[in-house]
Amino acid sequence: MQKMILERKNHITVISGILIATAFISKLVFGNTEIFLWLLVFASFLGVTPIAIQAYQALKVKVVSIDVLVTIAVAGAFLIRNFEESAIVTFLFLFGAYLEQRTLNKTRSAIKELTEMAPESALKQMDNGEFEIVEVGEVEVGDILLVKTGAKIPVDGTIITGEGYINEASITGESFPVFKKRDSKVFAGTILENGTLKIIADRVGEDTTFGKIIELVEEAQDSKSEAERFIDRFSKHYTPAVLVLSFIVWLVSRDIELAITILVLGCPGALVIGVPVSNVAGIGNGAKHGVLLKGSEVIGDLSRLDTIVFDKTGTLTLGNPKVVQQKIYTDEFEKIFGYLSSIEKESNHPLAKAIVEYIGDVKAYPVERTEVIKGGGIIAQIDGHRVAVGNVALMEKENVYLSERIKKDILEMQNDGDSLVLTSLDGEIQLLMGIRDPIRQNVKGTLQKLKKLGVKNLVVLSGDNQGTVDLVAKELGLTEAFGNMLPEDKQSFIKNLQAKGQTVAFVGDGVNDSPSLALAQIGIAMGSGTDVAIETSDVVLINSDFERLPHALGLAKATAKNMRQNIVIAVGVVLVLLISVFFSEWMNMSIGMLVHELSILAVILNGMRLLRYRLKY
């Protein structure tokens, strides 16, 4: 019975409103006070029923909720035969709850839109070579799929044939289509606007970028910020306090109507709903604009940010280094290239890939007994020789002699901002390469926006040599730059900043960044980074769009400000109502309930403004 009544709460609201309107018409138009009173009595009983059920359910779990206050107030008004107040208060409370739920649903619309964007079917190549429509759940990694114009891409994958423009708004927030061709990466949930593509599935189901977005946003909605937890604790004490205040007023004044009015006016509804609606709207806005905020707690920390520490490679730079210059100190350079290429092919390091790509096709040699030197490079036995490949520190450790000419070449390359890779053969330098990683487009402008948003310290930490890091910092206008940093050095640096009272964010993309991402108050991962980095972080920039970082920070500050506004509105309205009941003649239960419901709508509508938030500069 209770469930049935609560499910029909909106119907009860409508009937209650009709009864009240009919009652006043019968009195004002026809002068029939008896029908007027009976209709109000019926409206009071009908309206208070779902409220009383919710109050009973709350008391069963030892919570004195707003419904308890309203139920007691309506019962008191009914006992003193103030049927107008009892009927109007119940109707306004129910109608306010209806409007509250409706507007709250709108704040979640951005997140609902995400789930509706999820692809449901795919054209999969079968064993006979034909393509058939299957459900997305039947697609596995390695399957070949066909995507036609206007269709949603069903999985994260790589294009094997075809080209076209893809709308990636569901992933990046940008409505401008992006041109994709063979070997380009594509994401589930994006739309092929023209062309026909064949793709091979790399990630399916919940493992796709789009699946992770939905999962992370849903988790973020369920989390509670520090402000929300405080308000939950406050409400548990505040609501019983209103009951006690009402009882004391009755003991002192013996005015039961005044005591009942205080119960109605003291309802903390706007206070309870104000902060959550701001958080949900803020998270929804971020999801639409390529920024994943993993929970309400993150918003609070991010809004207080004063220091951002960046990893260089893959964050400030593209993470796709190229060999830009070389110095050869041997006549047998073809053999040295073969040794170097053979060694570097066994490494996944970005510099190794750049070297292999630069050298191209050369004679391969079997590599024996490789030893990886942490923060230095690789030592290997190859073709009967001891070959060391790495930085200057490794050469010094190997006691490799560096002539004045070589030192001069090293200094020149460092001054050019290159990362250095030296190759020695049996203790003698054979080859020096300068490798450079291009800076991401528009990074400098993005960093300027961060400064305008109140970030005082912009720091870069990198494993590259100090000269390279200094040049990057100078070009981008960073506050500080530190090179030759191992993962544990980055952690120690962040700990020192935190010990000074700074609120630190770390921005990175690799496995080696994960400890720093976890240690910083806010870990910010590039969306194309490793799964470990993304899972460890608090904020994810989808599609590695560095320009989304100012939007994330601005949104967090706007959301935190919006929360404070809602708290002021909620507390201010309650104080004004309670003062008015003692120092004015016009305040009563009906007016108090109307203002109370309007305050709830005010904080919800204020929170909904965040859905339209965009950074102004």
The tens digit of pLDDT for each residue in 55-111 reads 788 778 776 666 777 777 777 777 777 777 778 778 877 776 776 666 556 545 545
Q: Which residues of 210-221 are buried (b: 16+ CB within 10 A; e: fewer)?
A: bbbbbebbeebb
* Of 74, 70, 73, residue with least CA distance to 97: 70
How is 63-79 classified by DSSP, letter by letter?
---HHHHHHHHHHHHHH
117 three-class SS: helix
The whole-number pLDDT of residue 54 equals 82
Is 311 one of the annotated active-site residues of the chain? Answer: yes
Lowest mean pLDDT among 330-344, 508-522, 526-540: 526-540
Active-site position among 143, 311, 418, 509: 311
Mean pLDDT of the chain: 81
The whole-number pLDDT of residue 555 equals 93
The whole-number pLDDT of residue 55 equals 79
* Of 408, 478, 455, residue with least CA distance to 557: 455
Tokens 């409505």 belong to residue: 175
Residue 196 has pLDDT above 70, yes or no: yes
What is the arithmetic mean of pLDDT over 438-459?
88
Secondary structure percentages of the chain, helix, strand, coil, to 5:
55, 20, 25
* Rounded distance between C-alpha atoms, residue 264 and residue 66, angstroms: 9
Tokens 């260089």 belong to residue: 312
Q: How many whole angstroms from its chain centre is CA 553?
A: 11
Domains of the chain, earliest start first: 120-154+156-203 (2.70.150.10), 322-436 (3.40.1110.10)
* Rounded distance between C-alpha atoms, residue 453 and residue 474, angstroms: 21
